[in-house]
Amino acid sequence: MSAEDLERYEAEMELALYREYRDVVGIFTYVVETDRRFYLCNSVDVKVRSESGDAYFEVTMTDAWVWDVYRPARFAKNVKVLTFKDVNVEELATSDFEPPKA
């Protein structure tokens, strides 16, 4: 497989992932961004934990969809993320549910 073939394959996978996102975004309430992943979910709970002076975030989500091109199953019933980095949680507004026209 040439480098060009690999780039074409990755571009096709990204496009397929975007199309899936566009199809499912309307069934979720929250967008959650961590340093490693982007999630859509219907409930989210963020707790700040501290052990031995270091603070970290414990993020728990239910009914989630994970933006990850290499993941064969992107839907997850329960997700727990532990991170020392920032976590961004946004509630989707009704107007945000309109996917872009293809």
Quick: pLDDT tens for 18-62: 999 999 998 999 999 999 999 999 999 999 999 888 899 999 999
- Domain hosting residue 77, numbered range: 3-93
Count CA atoms within 13 Å of residue 98 on its CB side. Answer: 4
- How many structural domains are present in the chain? 1
In a domain, residue 75? The reply is yes
In a domain, residue 101? The reply is no
Structure tokens at 52: 């031995």
CA 94 – CA 91 distance, rounded (Å)? 10
In a domain, residue 102? The reply is no
Q: Is the pTM of this model over 0.85?
A: no
In a domain, residue 99? The reply is no
In a domain, residue 98? The reply is no
Quick count: other Cβ atoms within 10 Å of Cβ 52? 4
In a domain, residue 73? The reply is yes
**Contact of 34 with 85, CB cutoff 8 Å:** yes
In a domain, residue 60? The reply is yes
So what's the pLDDT on residue 66? Answer: 96
